[in-house]
Amino acid sequence: MRLRLTDDWSPEQISSWLRRSFPDEPHLWISHEAIYRHLYISTRHALPSALTSHLRSRRPVRMSRLARKSGHGRGRLRNMVSIHDRPAHVEDRREVGHWEGDLIIGSTSTRSAIGTLVERTSGFLMLLHLPGDHTALTVSTAMIKAMNTLPEQLRLSVTWDQGREMAKHQEVTMATGMPIYFCDPHSPWQRGSNENTNGLLRQYFPKSTDLSFHGPGILDNVAAELNARPRKRHGYRTPAEVLTELFSN
């Protein structure tokens, strides 16, 4: 187990790998929470720096599960469904129509932001124009409008973090038919496609700038440019080509 950790595998990845590698030997399975407990208890609750560097959180001391669930006092979203209750088939990225979403935030003085939605299988990107702010009402309105431009077959699910901008997630589900699953706090790797794409978007939308400057036309052009950029994981086909191919099959 420690060998996998030193290879920068997360406890969740180790847990899933054990289940896939030994499907008929449940005595070899272990949950990611059990891995964390073993690590912190066996090292007297504080990990040595050599091991801490391999954990995604980089924390030498483990927070309690209650503290993590509460999101450090931010308050949990009402009636949210955890990513751990998301259907298993979503994970393998074979079915098109499952999305990951988040915000990229502008300067604190402007309260500006841009919504980002990435289709998990193809990497196809949609950007949400959020005029004025990124409150739950603004985000839900923009998300409903954007997702309802898609065929029903491409509106299967969304995975998001537990930000307050998703307080109206139930309204989004009712209007689009898309269930929304929420990541664990401070776990960006659980929506890795979106996180990687947000990194690419900073080329166009630098941090600490006023993102309200970029209107819907600019956002559409940026999304189209990234959707037309060849990707190595697709054999240098573009996200737009992959989405079209998968949707037509």
Strand partners, 157: 98
Residue 43: pLDDT band (50, 70, 90) is very low
- Predicted local distance difference test score (pLDDT) of residue 24: 80
Q: Which amino acid is at 213?
A: F
C-alpha 1, offset from chain centre: 26
Whole-model pTM: value is 0.70
Query: 206-225: per-residue pLDDT in tens?
Result: 998 999 999 999 999 999 99
The enclosing H or E element of 147 equals: helix 136-147
pLDDT at 71 over 70: no
Residue 123: pLDDT band (50, 70, 90) is very high
Question: Where are the domain boundaries for CATH 3.30.420.10 in the chain?
Answer: 81-248
pLDDT at 107 over 60: yes
Given a contact cutoff of 8 angstroms between Cβ atoms, the answer to whether 102 and 218 are in contact is: no
Class of the domain covering 81-248:
alpha beta
Bigger pLDDT: 84 vs 42: 84
Residue 58: pLDDT band (50, 70, 90) is very low
- Predicted local distance difference test score (pLDDT) of residue 52: 43
Q: Which residues contact 161 (CB under 8 A, 6 or more apart)?
A: 102, 182, 183, 185, 187, 188, 191
